[in-house]
Amino acid sequence: WFRKVPGASLYPLEKRQSSADLSLLVLFSDITQKGYEKKQAKLLAPIKLTPGLSSDPTSNPNAVPVAAPRQHRAHRSGGTRDDRYRSDIHTEAVQAALARHKEEKMALPMPTKRRSAFVQPPAENCTPPDTSSASEDEGSLRRRQAAISAMLAQNLQSPEYWINRSVQSSSTSSSASSTLSHGDGKTHNHNQGQTSVLADVLAHTRIESSSIPPDVTSTVPQDRNSRVDLPPNITVRGMSRGQSRSSMMDTAGGVPAHSRVSTKIQQLLNTLKRPKRPPLSEFFLDDFEEIVEVPQPDPNTPRPEGRQMIPVKGEPLGVVSNWPPALQAALARWGATQAKSPALTALDITGKPLYTLTYGKLWSRSLKLAYTLLNKLGTKNEPVLKPGDRVALVYPNSDPGMFWVAFYGCLLAEVIPVPIEVPLSRKDAGSQQIGFLLGSCGVGLALTSEVCLKGLPKTQNGEIMQFKGWPRLKWVVTDTKYLTKPSKDWQPLLPTANTDTAYIEYKASKEGTVMGVAVSKISMLTHCQALTQACNYCEGETLVNVLDFKKDSGLWHGVLTSVMNRIHTISVPYSVMKACPLSWVQRVHVHKGSVSSCDAFLNVFQSHGLTPEMICPCASSPEAMTVAIRRPGAQGTPLPARAVLSMAGLSHGVIRVNTEDKNSALTVQDVGHVMPGALMCIVKPDGPPMLCKTDEIGEIVLNSRAGGTMYYGLPGVTKNTFEVIPVNSGGTPIGEVPFKRTGLLGFVGPGSLVFVVGKIEGLLSVSGRRHNADDLVATALAVEPVKTIYRGRIAVFSVTVFYDERVVIVAEQRPDANEEDSFQWMSRVLQAIDSIHQVGLYCLALVPANTLPKTPLGGIHVSETKQHFLEGSLHPCNILMCPHTCVTNLPKPRQKQPVGVGPASIMVGNLVAGKRIAQASGRDLGLIDDQEQSRKHQFLSEALQWRAQTDPDQVLYMLLNAKGVAVSTATCSQLHKRAEKITAALLERGGINTGDNVVLLYPPGIDLIASFYGCLYAGCIPVTVRPPHSQNLAATLPTVRMIIDVSKAACILTTQTLMKILRSKEAAGCVNVKTWPNIIDTDDLPRKRPSNIYKPPTAEMLAYLDFSVSTTGMLTGVKISHSAVNALCRSIKLQCELYSSRQIAICMDPYCGLGFVLWCMSSVYSGHQSILIPPMELETSLPLWLSTLSQYKIRDTFCSYSVMELCTKGLGTQTEALKARGVNLSCVRSCVIIAEERPRLALTQSFSKLFKDLGLSPRAVSTAFGARVNLAICLQGTAGPDPSTVYVDMKSLRHDRVRLVERGAPQSLPLMESGTILPGVRVIIVNPETRGPLGDSHLGEIWVNSPHNASGYYSIYGEESLQGDHFNTRLSFGDTETHWARTGYLGFVRRTELLDARGDRHDALFVVGSLDETLELRGLRYHPIDIETSVSRAHRSIAESAVFTWTNLLVVVVELSGSEQEALDLVPLVTNVVLKEHHLIVGVVVIVDPGVIPINSRGEKQRMHLRDSFLADQLDPIYVAYNM
């Protein structure tokens, strides 16, 4: 039983500057005033120190800790874990390491947690919390003062600086400003007076600059459908796209200066400021092909220098005349000749003897069992068991007697016993793997005791439960009363031991797979002989066994070798050990037995007469069995050898005696010599089994007759482990004898002594260095007296993330540990491990008590814990991720090259490379069929009058309610008359002048359309505004108010209901209701006709204003002229083949963009009938839209993504029911989604698939694309080819290059064409920086030229430069005459193989995303939606996610749809997936409730609003994790 001692490495401060970053200032969150003052004083104390002067932590020269020996039993992964790591020396070393960190304090932001998020485990599992700790009520004051105390602690600037900044109303939040002067090295002596002034100013100052509209919301709407276009801080359009992105990112519009969140982010930035550990040299350049280069070797890496090792031989195995020919023969001999001699004494739970089994009883019972198994289980002709069958032995650790009888009974019957643990529940950790073992061994029968059988979990009808992954088993009870006495003529066979399998011992691999190691009869016997010789066992001795008797040394010594030598074994069950650790020592005293145990307690028991030479550590593994053992010495023999090794050397696999730094030492004791009759080599653990040099650590391999022969039933794996032939440095085999891999790492020291330093399965290989999991556990447990976690309830493992292993530590937190203690402990563990092992931790998680999966003896089941971690089912209550610290192999950031080449060379370069200039155009607008009408009517108002005269009864509009009933219709003449009434009211009651702006505030319907034409008749400019939500005025009314103010509306047209709302008390609570412009309710207007209908003098005059909020939170109004309206309607008519006999259905909001054009104008222009379905009606009747399509046999329908999502999520399971109701969608020829974003391919595909059963053609669904500068650029019509889908390489896309790849290629992104380009529209792809045209293999900004471009922004600031830049700009080279409008969207053009209406090859436009939304990180361009797609796949409980950046930190906000205890599971999963798929490190992970991420009416996420709400601390998150 071996183990080693980590001392602790402490590099001097000068060398290990890197560790200082992680010092601790834990942010307080909830404190009382008194507590706050105390804390404030404490926080200000370190500021008076001058950084850089560190007091020597070990001023006493004798205080250098020395490493002391400690051992543990390798095979007791149970409770001895407690003692395994206990080392006072180690604790001293760790404390010394931590003391150095304290010298330079930097604040680590503590995670923010909602009070309810930490779910305590059930009460019966917990010890009651210590009542003396702080009372719960202090919680309420937490949030207010957190930010202030943290800010003071930062000691970055003088208070005056802060006060001036905030009073000057700068719009930069604290996070941005405090980064500016960090690192100047000056400290300021704050005095108490100044700081309180500072706190006061901060508490009462809001940063608001005049250009930022008021903070319009404080609550976040809870349900997605009542979302507003405009949550918190809307910026009226005013940022030129030429400005750098960062100027926008670094400004929190209207975020209070004392925001807690931005302070914490600032702390995080300060922590991340200095590089952690020197970054690994040149990992890889993210170029066209991403190749991970092996890091250049560090010249200082220690290398093995010794000669090649020579295989080590054990002494020959002596031949003793009375050794039995087989183990069964030994039992037969003792059973007959020494029947009264005691074989086994079992202890009860109190440590008192329970029963003693004599050799006679053991023999007779084993015989009965053998007879019963072979003769009584089936019929004579069909026995259930035949010799060579495998049988599971299921006996509890408290009943060794039953196990012994079963084991020897199986040997006598020549069936193969497979001892396994008793399954306690269906969900036992690793039970599925035990099932794999039973399956691979072909086990169909299990032996157990009556008591054990009663305790097994049963189904309701009393049958034994089918355990997860287990084969079907028959259970046989082996209690004596059920056994049959053998008949007189039956005698067991007692053949000489041969190579047949005797028994199978289970073994769990690092990944958790359980395999069966088969041990042959000859191996079993030889091993017993070798142990007898090595341990000098004699007949009739007493042996105390405290190990598990089912496997390993407990079985080899305590069950097999003891019987061969007629030894009396006293079996001490594990439960006794837990209850009374002394009991077994008392047994040794009472029975004067020899002890097979280690010398960790030599110091304790030396005074009781224990001599050092009696201690015999050994090394073993299931495959090779005992590898080496220290022989019990006579008095005066030399004491055990010790090696003091350098930890750094060990991590490189090299043996170096540690001389310079005692704290980074590991002291190892030898495990004696090789077993008798064995040959040992040390080979390299990975790659071919090459012999190691003498000063190199490698895997021990052994050749011996004693040892396993194979993994039963797994020939493939067997070969690599049991048939290894070592090779020398030239690669030639050293001989022909096969060796077995032991899974132990070690070396052979002087005098052929064997040293073991760890196990392969505990090895963590990080960046080419090897660390031992047990050493890391020891360091973690040495951090502070353990108040936070349970000793021995800790697991260390590594997970592969981004081409390297990352270290994860998971521990169980005590129920009474408070948040701050836990966080402090975690931070200190980071520092200690960083100092001592020079390895960064990736993740440290604390879980509630009793929640980690356990092994049968109560230790932690590491592979299962790792599985839970990766699946997101650990449910931690505290977590700290440190990706910034330990991920050092990211690709180098891209340096953008300044463009030093002229326009001509770019053009020529593109042509030489065979790349077309990326441009495309729709077909010509040409002249339309009804020429007179189009020539006569330049204006829509004229078109309506003409229709009212020529075809008065043609129904243009039909509005449906939730039941599908037409609640109102409008013919041409009804619409005209209604518009006239509104015109008359406007002119009489509104006192309106020509050209005044009029706000239309209506729910979706025909009133909205009539008032639009009423305004045109009166010569006013209509502005449609979405009405406020009556249930959520606080969030929705300020938006309405803002549009009314910005558009300088002269009056408001609305309904009676809405007029009441505008003047209500509730409204007065949100906005100033006294200053509304004139409100006219149009519900009951008198029949009056205006004296004349206005006709604009030119078509360039304004027709209406279109206001909308972009996804970046910009409120923009664009001016649409009469000629643009005319051109757009004509273009749509041509593309969709709309004429008066056609019907279309529209299900979307009619307030802006193309939706408004289709709802209000298209029918009047083309004369087709529009069926209007307000999307809010779908909330009460989901199938409304689809059943309307079916009922009216609609060929063309238009909807929004929100509508499609509602149908997909809500009706996905109801297609059968819809079919039964007769819904048939085979009539639909085109279903167009109106959007201003990249097509959502996953949604459109799932919609098509779901409703395919209802006859929906897979070709029907397509998307449109429009932007602020041009409301409709693409629209899939009837004539063009089907929209095509391409797969592009995401890595290239980040470099603004477009490289097409095959479907399913790694890192590929599917993109769908955004619809056919409309007639009269031309687009070109342009480099947004140089403004030059791009080739078609580049990603660039989409510029558009068309007669229906908008004329400009309608803005109160009159930014002429922006107008020209966005609406009227020219290329820097190439065709410099054409005027273009900039859409602000990135995309590319690809020529496809398909043909368009003219018979030419079709050019497809692909929209990738909004330029304003892109994230510039590491010099690359990322699109938020791509990162969000990855994040949403990371865990089943992620409902939605959104990302944004803040001061170059990537913030991921995740909506949690599961229970709150899953919140912290998401943090590592989100970090992993973004690192793996996007090569980015997440800075902050925010977990929120479903529905918190704001979306606008088009269903687009409002990421900038989300960012502002987060920074203003308005999200009420469940958890905020700041990744280090």
Per-residue pLDDT of 555-573, as tens digits, reads 999 999 999 999 999 998 8
* Alpha-carbon distances, residue 290 vs 1292, 1300, 1429, 1478, 1479 (angstroms): 10, 16, 22, 12, 11
Helices (H), 914-1055: 931-936, 940-950, 972-985, 1006-1018, 1033-1046
> Can you give the pLDDT at residue 1060?
94
**pLDDT tens track for 202-233:** 334 333 333 333 333 333 334 444 344 444 44
For the chain, give the percent of residues with pLDDT over 90.
50
DSSP element (H, E) containing 907: helix 903-912
Structure token pair of residue 574: 């594990």
Half-sphere exposure of 1131 (CA within 13 A, CB side): 30
Phi-psi label, residue 407: left if phi above 0, alpha if psi -120 to 50, beta otherwise: alpha
For residue 1025, give the nearest of 1204, 1150, 932, 1189 by alpha carbon: 1150
Q: Are strands 1230-1233 and 1196-1199 parallel, antiparallel or unpaired?
A: parallel
Q: Are strands 618-621 and 625-629 parallel, antiparallel or unpaired?
A: antiparallel
**pLDDT tens track for 1170-1202:** 999 999 999 899 999 999 999 999 999 999 999
Distance of CA 1358 to the CA centre of its chain: 46
Q: Which residue has the higher pLDDT, 302 or 1398?
A: 302
- Residues 995 and 1161 sit within 8 Å (Cβ to Cβ): no
DSSP classification of residue 1275: E
What does pTM read for this prediction? 0.79
Q: Which amino acid is at 646?
A: S
pLDDT at residue 1414 is higher than 90? yes
- Residues 1115 and 230 sit within 8 Å (Cβ to Cβ): yes
Query: Rounded distance, CA 1511 to CA 207, Å?
Result: 13
Neighbouring residues of 54: CB distance < 8 A, sequence distance ≥ 6: 13, 100, 103, 104
Angle between helices 940-950 and 972-985 (to 10 degrees): 130
Query: Rounded distance, CA 153 to CA 1114, Å?
Result: 36
Q: Is the Cα dihedral 355, 361, 362, 367 positive or negative? A: negative
> Can you give the pLDDT at residue 135?
33
pLDDT at residue 290 is higher than 70? no
Q: Which residue has the higher pLDDT, 162 or 1207?
A: 1207
> Can you tell me the mean pLDDT for 134-160?
35
> Can you give the pLDDT at residue 696?
93
Beta-ladder partners of 666: 6, 645
Phi, psi of 1365 (to 5 degrees): -65, -40
- Residues 1300 and 1309 sit within 8 Å (Cβ to Cβ): no
> Can you give the pLDDT at residue 173?
34
Q: Which amino acid is at 20?
A: A
DSSP element (H, E) containing 1124: helix 1122-1136
With H, G, I as helix, E, B as strand and everything else as coil, classify residue 796.
strand
For residue 1033, give the nearest of 1073, 1004, 1061, 1075 by alpha carbon: 1061
pLDDT at residue 279 is higher than 70? no
Under the banding of pLDDT at 50, 70 and 90, the label for residue 1366 is confident
- Residues 1105 and 1023 sit within 8 Å (Cβ to Cβ): yes
**pLDDT tens track for 899-933:** 555 555 555 555 555 478 889 988 888 754 545 44
Structure token pair of residue 11: 């590099």
- Residues 849 and 790 sit within 8 Å (Cβ to Cβ): yes
> Can you tell me the mean pLDDT for 848-854?
91
- Residues 688 and 727 sit within 8 Å (Cβ to Cβ): yes
pLDDT at residue 990 is higher than 90? no
With H, G, I as helix, E, B as strand and everything else as coil, classify residue 1478.
helix
pLDDT at residue 82 is higher than 80? no
* Alpha-carbon distances, residue 981 vs 986, 1011, 1014 (angstroms): 9, 9, 7
Q: Is the Cα dihedral 555, 560, 565, 570 positive or negative? A: positive
- Residues 253 and 216 sit within 8 Å (Cβ to Cβ): no
- Residues 813 and 788 sit within 8 Å (Cβ to Cβ): yes
Complete DSSP assignment for 369-393: HHHHHHHTSS-SSS-S--TT-EEEE
> Can you tell me the mean pLDDT for 39-60?
39
Q: Each residue of 182-193: b (16+ CB within 10 Å) or e?
A: eeeeeeeebeee
> Can you tell me the mean pLDDT for 1065-1073?
89
With H, G, I as helix, E, B as strand and everything else as coil, classify residue 1357.
coil
Neighbouring residues of 1151: CB distance < 8 A, sequence distance ≥ 6: 1024, 1025, 1026, 1108, 1497
**pLDDT tens track for 1311-1330:** 999 999 999 999 999 999 99
pLDDT at residue 148 is higher than 50? no
Q: Are strands 1051-1054 and 390-394 parallel, antiparallel or unpaired?
A: unpaired
Helices (H), 218-278: 245-249, 260-273
Structure token pair of residue 1523: 């990744």
Q: Which amino acid is at 1249?
A: K
Query: Rounded distance, CA 680 to CA 739, Å?
Result: 8
pLDDT at residue 1462 is higher than 60? yes
Neighbouring residues of 97: CB distance < 8 A, sequence distance ≥ 6: 8, 10, 19, 663, 831, 832, 835, 836
Burial of 135 (C-beta count, 10 Å sphere; 0-12/13-18/19+) = exposed
Query: Rounded distance, CA 551 to CA 75, Å?
Result: 9
Residue entry with tokens 């120190």: 49
**pLDDT tens track for 415-433:** 999 999 888 776 666 778 8
> Can you give the pLDDT at residue 432?
80
> Length of the chain, please?
1524
> Can you give the pLDDT at residue 582?
67
For the chain, give the percent of residues with pLDDT over 70.
77
pLDDT at residue 65 is higher than 70? no
Query: Rounded distance, CA 972 to CA 1006, Å?
Result: 12
Q: Which of 763-767, 785-789, 859-863, 1348-1352 has the lowest mean pLDDT?
A: 785-789
Burial of 1107 (C-beta count, 10 Å sphere; 0-12/13-18/19+) = buried
Structure token pair of residue 24: 């601790």
DSSP classification of residue 558: I
**pLDDT tens track for 729-768:** 888 999 889 999 999 999 999 889 999 998 998 889 888 8
Helices (H), 1161-1302: 1162-1166, 1175-1180, 1184-1191, 1201-1211, 1215-1220, 1241-1250, 1290-1294
> Can you give the pLDDT at residue 221?
38
> Can you give the pLDDT at residue 908?
55
* Alpha-carbon distances, residue 18 vs 180, 823, 1350 (angstroms): 22, 20, 56
Average pLDDT, the chain: 80
Q: Which amino acid is at 86?
A: R
pLDDT at residue 180 is higher than 60? no
Under the banding of pLDDT at 50, 70 and 90, the label for residue 178 is very low
DSSP classification of residue 114: -
Q: Is the Cα dihedral 1020, 1024, 1030, 1036 positive or negative? A: negative
Q: What share of the chain is helix, strand, coil (3-state, %, to 5)?
A: 35, 25, 45
> Can you give the pLDDT at residue 1110?
76
